[in-house]
Structure 1
Amino acid sequence: MPALYDSIGAGYETLRQPDPRIGARLHSALGPARRVLNVGAGTGNYEPSDRSIVAVEPSARMIQRRPPGSAPAIQASAAALPFADGAFDAALAVLTIHHCPDPLAGLREVRRVTRGRIVILTFDPAARPWLTDYLPGLAALDEAQMPPLEVYRAALGPIRVEPLLTPHDCVDGFLYAYWRRPHAYLDPRIRSGSSSFHALKDIDAGLGRLKADLDSGDWQGRYADINGLEEYDAGYRLLVAGPRGDPPDR
């Protein structure tokens, strides 16, 4: 996936700002770990500032766009991490494992180099957010590229799985972040911040239906049950694997 992020990285750091509420959940899940590996680190979103961070990112373009003062970043793949066994207290991977050509191999490598907790933000491919009603290709893409939870268990051992609800005003512009701001999906600039839209073809008809429903008020009526929500379960999941050989804390 580095070639894709070499091409879409231009606006990534403005469209994909870390949301502090999501960041707080991730940082809390890391526990007391001091030396943390950030896998698929991109421009450095959600890297805690109070720990020693080493970032791994396969895209040179994304590494170049990390802001000044960011943790050191190494260009490498998750499937071949250049570190010794147990080199890190903990590892962090935010919406990235699905971009690994071999997710199982990548997760096993992360487990190899991490002696403590592994914290992963991912998406459950069984989820069906409302946007898939207009763009069913998104559901097919999620199923094709998002590893099922069984893959994480096979690589990491026992994991704790928690829903990570998406705030209605989420700052981070990931795919389903605009669940209560549907007009955003009509903006090509907003769509450019999600790799899924770069992978989909023939979205014009679906977006046309969305625009028509928004203009007529049909969307507001059909999804009235979510319009007043502050948070929404769009399918994102926080996974926590405990230290090697141990179940995660409860």
Structure 2
Amino acid sequence: MTTTTYDTLGATYARTRQPDPRIAAQIHAALGNVTDVINVGAGTGSYEPPQTALAVEPSQVMIAQRPPGSAPAVQGVAERLPLRDDAADAVMALLTVHHWTDLAAGIDELRRVARGRIVILTWDQQVFRERFWLVRDYLPEAAAFDDTRATPTDQLIDLLGGARQEPVRVPHDCVDGFGAAYWRRPEAYLDPQVRAGISLLAQTGEDTIAPGLARLADDLATGRWHTRHAELLALDTFDVGYRLLVADL
């Protein structure tokens, strides 16, 4: 992510982007029994395990929202990590690679700094487009924006030199307000504060997404949304395309 992007968009993150304990458990299991972890593109510190040694984040606005007692944080970018070779057992990068200006350089840096394991949380754009009703039915403009920045998971796996891939199913009551967190709570997307914490929507722009949001509001008011998506209302979790990549070096 760039400094300017999250200096603008990151002001509400501490309110709308709290770590979800179920997703945290999956991330921490993927990290394994490591001694120390570096969090790259760390934001406000969501999902950092207790053994986090350092967070690297480009935006001072995000760093300022890290809670008391968090791991120390330095301002920096993934493409030029201010760290020595083999600096930690593991490096994690969660919902950040799509913001990097040079993906290959960033992955090379993760490989340089990690002694044993890299964990990346990202998403499969094709699955996301097909399964997530918000971008498919109401906000294709936002999906088009994501098309320009999403990285195919196969490409990431190649850059990592191989990795296993785990689906991250989103709970219906997910407390971390990322893009598809409200898949069973559609009214949330009508809240400007919720949208401000979702880069997909915030960076597409309010004027661009306003017509689609108006259609969503109308479908909620008439009950059409609930009729069309009745099957979702029976689900506790949903695979919307989020993926955890785990690479052993």
Normalised by the length of structure 1, the TM-score is 0.94
Question: Equivalences for 1:165-244 in 2 at 5 Å?
Answer: 165-201=169-205, 202-242=208-248, 244=249
Matched AA of 1:15: T
Provide Cα deviations, 1:115-145, integer angstroms capped at 9, x if missing partner.
2111111111112211111000122122211
Say what the alpha-carbon RMSD is for the aligned residues: 1.1
Structure 1 residues without counterparts, runs of 5 or longer: 245-250
- What is the CA distance between 1:25 and its match in structure 2? 0.4
Shift of 1:8: 2.2
CA deviation string 1:16-65 (max 9, x = no partner): 0000000000001111111111000011110012x142100011111111
Rate the CA distance shift 1:105–1:206 in 2: closer, same or farther, 3 A: same
For the residue of structure 1 that corresponds to 2:88, the secondary structure is coil
Cα displacement string for residues 78-131 of structure 1 (whole angstroms, at most 9, x for unaligned residues):
000121221110011111111111122111110111121111111111122111
Query: Take 1:153 and 1:169, find their aligned partners in 2: how far apart are those partners?
Result: 30
The residue identity in structure 1 corresponding to 2:53 is: I
Counterpart position of 1:119: 119
1:130 to 129, 133, 137: 133
Output the TM-score relative to the length of structure 2: 0.94
CA contact (8 A) 1:38 1:55 kept: yes
Report the Cα offset of residue 172 of structure 1.
0.2
Identity of aligned residues (%): 54
* Match of residue 148 from structure 1: 152
The amino acid across from 1:209 in the alignment is: R
CA distance in 2, matches of 1:240, 1:59: 26
3-state SS in 2 of match to 1:206: helix
Aligned residue for 2:8? 7
Could you tell me which residue of structure 1 aligns to residue 96 of structure 2?
96
In the alignment, what sits opposite 1:16? 17
Contact 1:135 1:203 (C-alpha < 8 Å) held by counterparts: yes
| 2:85 paired with 1:85 | yes
Q: Which stretch shows the higher mean deviation, 137-146 or 186-195?
A: 137-146
Contact 2:123 2:153 in 1 (8 A): no
Q: Which runs of 5+ in 2 are unaligned?
A: none
Amino acid at match of 1:206: G
How far did 1:190 drift? Answer: 0.9
**Which residue type is aligned with residue 174 of structure 2?**
C
4+ long deviations beyond 4 Å:
none
* Separation (CA, whole Å) in 2 of partners of 1:185 and 1:145: 22
**Paired position in structure 2 for 1:248:** none
Instruction: Tell me whether 1:27 sits opposite 2:39 in the alignment.
Output: no
Q: Which has the higher helix share?
A: 2
Distance, in Å, in 1 between the alignment partners of 2:145 and 2:236 is 27
Kept in 2, the 8 Å contact 1:47–1:53? The answer is no
Amino acid at match of 2:119: V
Aligned to 1:76: 76
Give 1:150 shift: 2.6
Q: Which moved more, 1:87-96 or 1:166-175?
A: 87-96
